[in-house]
Amino acid sequence: MGRTLAEKVWDDHVVTRAEGEPDLLFIDLHLLHEVTSPQAFDGLRKAGRKVRRLDLTIATEDHNTPTLDIDKPIADPVSRTQLETLRRNCAEFGVRLHPLGDVEQGVVHVVGPQLGLTQPGTTVVCGDSHTSTHGAFGALAFGIGTSQVEHVLATQTLPLAPFRTMAVTVEGELPEGVTAKDLILAVIARIGTGGGQGHVIEYRGPAVEKLSMEARMTVCNMSIEAGARAGMIAPDETTFAYLKDRPHAPKGEDWDAAVAYWRTLRTDDDAVFDREVVIDASELSPFVTWGTNPGQGAPLSADVPDPASYADPSERFAAEKALEYMGLTAGQALRDIRVDTVFVGSCTNGRIEDLRAAAGVIEGRKVADGVRMLVVPGSVRVALQAVDEGLDKVFTAAGAEWRHAGCSMCLGMNPDQLAPGERSASTSNRNFEGRQGKGGRTHLVSPQVAAATAVLGHLASPADLAGATDVRTPVEV
């Protein structure tokens, strides 16, 4: 019987396999950041162990880093300690680190791909659940806990229980104005936050094949929000073109050998998935969340659902709790929800295409009175590219704040937070209670919806701007 993409990558990394034991898998790339690594380094130190493969390990600072005044000492002493701990650990153990202020610094899941370190057919781990992002390249990439971080540092392997396979096939074509973010939010709403549990999801079908690499990363990034272990997309010409000539991509003969191998990384025609879900792309439209988990979403054109409409009592209770926390009423139009803050950034939507998309909508327009808009590039490289293209000017001219790279308001570990009761439209990945600040309320949206929402002050798509007073001025080239 044929094998799926995920099974092929798994099989190519088995170090030992024995009856009644988990497979021991080799890890090709280990990404580190300041939050989930200190206790792992401490464990190594206590056991007198070294990092086995420094050449497969890289660290960056992202979760705690401020996005303003980065040349000044970090105000929060606890954040500062955590960053200093990472710097000390990397120096002591010899790990390559890109600290705040370095040109390669940024959100760990933006940095890996842009350096060309994330490659098809590799195993990639990081103490961060959004490691699933790297699956966009046909890598088997998943988040791990701190004990596993220590395990990989010490052994470059992980003992892993087998997973099940799931295909999410997206037929047809995404309609104009519908993005990868809308697609993945719709998938999560369809299968639920536990729907992918125990599975590696492979996204496939014509609509997926047409996505750019960055859009594919947005899709795979949120696989964890469907409960999946990982998300993957088979590598193709789009993947190879993205990787070619990146700093750490293979060169010369190695490139040819790599591409030959990468071309084998496709699910065999006779392979069988444990579960299959089919989505019709043509039925999709801009999608937003209304609740407090990423599965509680609906098309922007819909109303806030009535909890009574849920047959399952625990879902009904969850919806009631969510509406209470979010301060929403059943039946209210999603488009009528007013926001205080718009956040564009994160490992989900903090790459250059995301910034271009948001800038394209807001160019020549103004952020609505009473709304603050934060634009936080995913990495310093993304920021430099955006400046080169003049996108920073587009945002600041519209009244948005152009910030330094980092995780920022996605989880508010740095000073970028919502105040209690404040409401955001956010291009990030989680709308959990308090995620963006105690008492903060989050609506997950695409970069385009974020920008349109900033202009109108309520949840909106770019199409809604056409009907509004158009203050667009001619663009000077």
Structure tokens at 49: 């162990």
Cβ within 8 Å of residue 338, ≥6 positions away? 423, 457, 458
Q: Minimum CB separation from another protein for residue 369, in Å?
A: 31
CA distance 468 to 192: 35
Q: Minimum CB separation from another protein for residue 87, in Å?
A: 12
Closer residue to another protein, CB minimum distance, 42 or 340? 42
Look-up of token digits 């994330």: 118
Closer residue to another protein, CB minimum distance, 229 or 351? 229
Query: In 185-214, which positions are buried (b, 16+ CB within 10 angstroms) versus exposed (e)?
Result: bbbbbebbbebbeebbbbbbbebbeebebb
- Residue 122 backbone dihedrals phi, psi, to 5 degrees: -100, 165
CA distance 140 to 101: 30
Q: Minimum CB separation from another protein for residue 425, in Å?
A: 19
Cα Rg, the chain, nearest whole Å? 22
Closer residue to another protein, CB minimum distance, 209 or 433? 433
Q: Is 407 annotated for ligand binding?
A: yes
Closer residue to another protein, CB minimum distance, 379 or 453? 379
Q: Minimum CB separation from another protein for residue 126, in Å?
A: 8
Cα four-point dihedral sign 68, 71, 73, 74: positive
Cα four-point dihedral sign 270, 276, 278, 279: negative
Look-up of token digits 């162990």: 49
Q: Minimum CB separation from another protein for residue 364, in Å?
A: 36
- Residue 401 backbone dihedrals phi, psi, to 5 degrees: -95, 130
Q: Minimum CB separation from another protein for residue 394, in Å?
A: 31
Closer residue to another protein, CB minimum distance, 286 or 437? 437
Closer residue to another protein, CB minimum distance, 71 or 253? 253
Q: Minimum CB separation from another protein for residue 421, in Å?
A: 14
- Closest by alpha carbon to 414, among 422, 405, 423? 405
Closer residue to another protein, CB minimum distance, 310 or 397? 310
Q: Minimum CB separation from another protein for residue 419, in Å?
A: 14
Closer residue to another protein, CB minimum distance, 173 or 315? 315
Q: Minimum CB separation from another protein for residue 230, in Å?
A: 10
Q: Minimum CB separation from another protein for residue 170, in Å?
A: 24
Closer residue to another protein, CB minimum distance, 209 or 315? 315
Closer residue to another protein, CB minimum distance, 229 or 365? 229
**How far does the chain reach from its first CA to its final CA, in angstroms?**
57
Q: Is 90 annotated for ligand binding?
A: no
Binding residues: 347, 407, 410
Binding residues for [4Fe-4S] cluster: 347, 407, 410
